[in-house]
Amino acid sequence: MEVRLADGRTIPVEMHKIKIVQQTYFLNIDDRITAIREAGFNTFLLQSRDIFLDMLTDSGTNAMSDNQQSAMLRADDAYAGSESFVRLQEAVRDIFQMRYVIPAHQGRACEHLLSRVFVKPGDVVITNYHFTTTKAHINIYGGEVVELIHDEGRITTSTNPFKGNLDIKLLEKAIAEYGKSKISYIRMEATTNLIGGQPFSMENLKAVSKIAKKHDIMLMMDCSLITENAYFIKTRESGFANKSILDIVQEMLRQVDLIYMSGRKSTMARGGMICTNNHELYHKILPQVPVFEGFITYGGMSTKEIESMAVGMREMVDVNVAGSGAEMINFFVHKLESLGVPVVTPPGGLGCHVDAMKFVPHIPQLEYPSCALAAAFYIVSGCRGMERGTLSMDRDEQGNEVPSDMELLRLAVPRRTFTMSQMEFAADRLAWLYEHRDLIHGLRWVEEPPVLRFFIGKLESIDGWETRLMDAVRADSRIN
Ligand SMILES: Cc1ncc(COP(=O)(O)O)c(C=O)c1O
């Protein structure tokens, strides 16, 4: 819930109380420098014990509810035919109104199964925007991703409420160009992760659906952040203010043939699943599950995860749950804007996204400005964000770098996890860093993996700039 205060500010008011907490640690500046050097300037390789606020991702890091935790106690550990899976099926039928559920251990496992079944060498997958793991699986099976994001999707600051829209004119053109037989499917990502968690509108989804039906092309939705997208439709699209999140979710899902999701985000659990009402699609995918994931009633998830996901499905459509992340992000983004820090607007789902091209414009894309900014932010604050830029792209087949559309430092806001004072702390340290941005320089590779290199690659600073940043932190008694 958002409330307006007498002083004119709008603040998020969380509709829950905190029952269990986890201690975090604030290392001194020398230890933070040692930690980031050992991590190869890659925040993925920092240890939890080195981090004060973990804003790496909202994936699997959200606070579960008491009902989710207690449901985990009744997990039925049958290898086949588990009661826990029956409860997940019931939740999917009630909430998504979908008959068939294929469990998988997480979102990328669904992407693997779907690419394996539907992508042939030389095919294309049309999407509003790619996600790293989605693209990796499509490429592995010989397909290519064609992004048809609406113009404003690639602009960091805008007032367009639906920057995740797919460009309808380009869609008709692409179908004419590639031909139906070459298009594996059309994929709509509900809030586009890599360009700032930006949603698409219901109007846009319906237009895409109409075209997909006309050409008899499968339409699939990545529902990992479905409730955030539905929350933005409710709060930003005319005609939806009085509809419930459940109604909006169901209206969205009626437009598509099949969905998949990482259960680690909107459902605040762990795991993943593919759902459909289409018998034929279901039976094409199902035989792959025992080969790659596990039996068809657990698909690589523990039964505890399945129980928490089933409850999470029912809880995520409560407007206060669906909006809890988005409202905290809204507060964080506006706080940073007021401090002059360049951020992606309008605020999206998932987290706050800092525009590294504006923050450190002196660092060329091939020296990984977003990664350098993420490392620098850790050094000054103990907070861990994530690079979402050129480093998150893999090289092309010839080994050339592929500069990304945007260079972003993503500061994820896991749902129900941080307080407003922690957001204020992170914003304050980022504003300090912005004042000292000239001290941040580029990075170069030490160990570069061939695929999804951002996860485990290691880098070093080009000229030892982190020492100068450390000295600046030490010299400021307010922040050291
Ligand atoms: C939109 C989207 N799709 C797929 C995935 C992959 O899911 P997982 O991390 O569960 O493998 C993610 C994860 O961040 C995501 O944001």
**Tens-place pLDDT, residues 348-394:** 999 999 999 999 999 999 999 999 999 999 999 999 999 999 999 99
- The answer to the question of residue 16 being in a domain is yes
Domain boundary among 318, 351, 375: 318
pLDDT at 88: 98
Answer yes or no: do 231 and 305 share one domain: yes
Domain boundary among 264, 290, 318: 318
The mean of the pLDDT values for the chain is 97
pLDDT at 443: 98
Answer yes or no: do 87 and 232 share one domain: yes
Domain boundary among 301, 318, 335: 318
Q: Find out whether the peptide bond into 346 is cis, omega within 30 degrees of 0.
A: yes
Cβ proximity of 101 and 88 under 8 Å: yes
Which domain does 459 fall in, by range?
2-58+321-475
- The answer to the question of residue 480 being in a domain is no
pLDDT at 423: 97
Residue 117 binned pLDDT confidence (cut-offs 50, 70, 90): very high
What's the structural domain count of the chain? 2
- The answer to the question of residue 277 being in a domain is yes
Please indicate whether residue 392, judged by its CB atom, sits closer than 6 Å to ligand 1: no
Answer yes or no: do 196 and 302 share one domain: yes
Answer yes or no: do 423 and 304 share one domain: no
Select which of 85, 96, 131, 425 is catalytic: 131
Q: What is the mean pLDDT of the segment spanning 113-131?
A: 98
- pLDDT, one tens digit per residue, over 20-45 is 999 999 999 999 999 999 999 999 99
For atom 16 of ligand 1, the residue with the nearest CA is 193
Answer yes or no: do 93 and 212 share one domain: yes
- pLDDT, one tens digit per residue, over 134-175 is 999 999 999 999 999 998 999 999 999 999 999 999 999 999
Residue 13, burial from CB neighbour count under 10 angstroms (0-12, 13-18, 19+): exposed
Token pair of 418, please? 């941080």
Task: Tell which one of 56, 131, 187, 410 to mutate to probe ligand 1, the residue whose CB is within 8 A of the most ligand atoms.
Answer: 131
Number of Cβ atoms within 10 Å of the Cβ of 308: 29
- pLDDT, one tens digit per residue, over 405-435 is 999 999 999 999 999 999 999 999 999 999 9
Strand pairing category for 183-189 and 408-412: unpaired
CA of 215 from ligand 1 middle (Å) equals 28
Here the CATH number for the domain that contains residue 377 is: 3.90.1150.10
Answer yes or no: do 42 and 186 share one domain: no
Instruction: Report which residue type is found at 178.
Output: Y
- pLDDT, one tens digit per residue, over 98-108 is 999 999 999 99
Residue 180, burial from CB neighbour count under 10 angstroms (0-12, 13-18, 19+): exposed
Answer yes or no: do 24 and 139 share one domain: no
CA of 467 from ligand 1 middle (Å) equals 35
Kindly report the length of the chain: 480
Concerning whether 331 is annotated as a catalytic residue, the answer is no
Whether 480 shows a pLDDT value over 90: the answer reads: no
Which residues pair with residue 188 across a beta bridge? 221
Residues 6 or more apart from 173 whose CB is under 8 A from it? Answer: none
Here the CATH number for the domain that contains residue 170 is: 3.40.640.10
- pLDDT, one tens digit per residue, over 251-288 is 999 999 999 999 999 999 999 999 999 999 999 999 99
Answer yes or no: do 177 and 196 share one domain: yes
Number of Cβ atoms within 10 Å of the Cβ of 214: 10
Which residues pair with residue 443 across a beta bridge? 461
Answer yes or no: do 297 and 337 share one domain: no
The three-state DSSP-derived secondary structure of 296-350 is: CCCCCCCHHHHHHHHHHHHHCCCHHHHCHHHHHHHHHHHHHHHCCCCECECCCCC
pLDDT at 130: 95
Q: What angle do CA 187, 60, 322 make, to 5 degrees?
A: 65
Answer yes or no: do 293 and 179 share one domain: yes
Task: Tell which one of 55, 59, 410 to mutate to probe ligand 1, the residue whose CB is within 8 A of the most ligand atoms.
Answer: 59
pTM over 0.75: yes
- The answer to the question of residue 231 being in a domain is yes
Sign of CA dihedral 101, 107, 111, 112: negative
Identify the three-state secondary structure at position 124: strand
Residue 121 binned pLDDT confidence (cut-offs 50, 70, 90): very high
pLDDT at 322: 97
CA of 58 from ligand 1 middle (Å) equals 10
Name the DSSP letter for residue 256. -
- The answer to the question of residue 214 being in a domain is yes
Angle between helix axes 245-253 and 226-236 (nearest 10 degrees) is 110
Answer yes or no: do 300 and 411 share one domain: no
- pLDDT, one tens digit per residue, over 234-247 is 999 999 999 999 99
- Could you tell me which of 480, 461, 471 has the C-alpha nearest to residue 36? 461
Answer yes or no: do 327 and 383 share one domain: yes
Please indicate whether residue 32, judged by its CB atom, sits closer than 6 Å to ligand 1: no
- The answer to the question of residue 392 being in a domain is yes
